[in-house]
A = this chain, B = another copy of it.
Amino acid sequence: MAAGVNLVVVGSVALDTVETPKTRRTDLLGGAASYACAAASFFSQTGMVGVVGTDFPEEFKKIYNRFGINLDGLQICEGKTFRWAGQYSGEDLNDRRTLSTELNVFETFSPELPDTYKNVPFLFLANISPDLQLHVLDQIKNPRFVVADTMDLWINTTRKSLDKLIGRVDMLMVNESEARHLTGETFLLKAAKGLLAMGPKYIMIKRGEYGSTLFSKEKIFLLPAYPLEEIKDTTGAGDTFAGAFMGSLARGQKVDWNAIRKAMVYANVVASFVVEEFSVEKLAKISLSDIEKRVDRYKEIVQF
């Protein structure tokens, strides 16, 4: 692949309005692809596949550039950028309510990969329709490790395509309620077994403030979240987790249980940074060495 891109992320790019009990922020850089690419960029050369409208602010492209994100796969279409507005309540921001969604250019988005991405080894299919995820997957010649996310909407509306997709990825990365919804199992271990039976070699369950759990057919690995004294905005935390995970994995030589566990440590730590500010603002302020320092601190907190 050209341009040294070794990880491609496909997902939404959005302008977000976020309300928390303390603050309201408008026109923030958002969307799963923004968070995942920013997080991955600390570790790997990351290419973004997404779409924005002609209203997409030039300053946000500059932010992407400062992260070193390759934008060959970012389409600019006539019209407005996807917009999302959400409200968080509770001091720990546990309740999220979507106030509005304007799909705009995202409505007719068909992700076409530039040739330079088609031999990429690592692919993260963030939460978009399973048909689009499959369309992207079909364009990659011989991917080494493919991870997909999804959401309740697709579980309810396009289950057939979603099942097909899940059968073709190396890892499904979903949150706890999605894992339950997909399998009808309340117990996480049973849900994970059900998901493994659908095809992926690995299942990663994101559990927000409670961390994350990795499953293979033989093994389990659990990480609690890095404990924080205050969080400002949890938007994009799961996508940041996924991006840092994929970036860290793409940086290494091997993709095995140990490499995946190590990538999960970085995923937890980078996600712990992103929630300390709105949008990707905190990620823009830190370096890999800040991440490494927190990894060391994290080890003290969770290793015995």
Contacts and interface: CB of A to CB of B under 8 A. Distances in A.
A187 B229 contact: yes
A190 interface: yes
B262 A304 contact: yes
B265 A189 contact: no
A300 B220 CA distance: 8
A227 interface: yes
Contacts of A68: none
A303 B262 CA distance: 11
Contact of A227 (B90, B188, B223): B188
Interface string A271-304: 0000000000000000000000000000011111
A158 interface: no
A167 interface: no
A186 interface: yes
Given A222-B301, A302-B221, A230 B187 contact: yes
B223 A224 contact: yes
Interface of A: 90-92, 186-190, 210-211, 213, 219-224, 227-230, 261-262, 264-265, 300-304
13 contacts: A91-B186, A92-B186, A188-B227, A190-B230, A211-B224, A221-B301, A222-B227, A223-B224, A223-B302, A223-B304, A224-B224, A302-B302, A303-B304
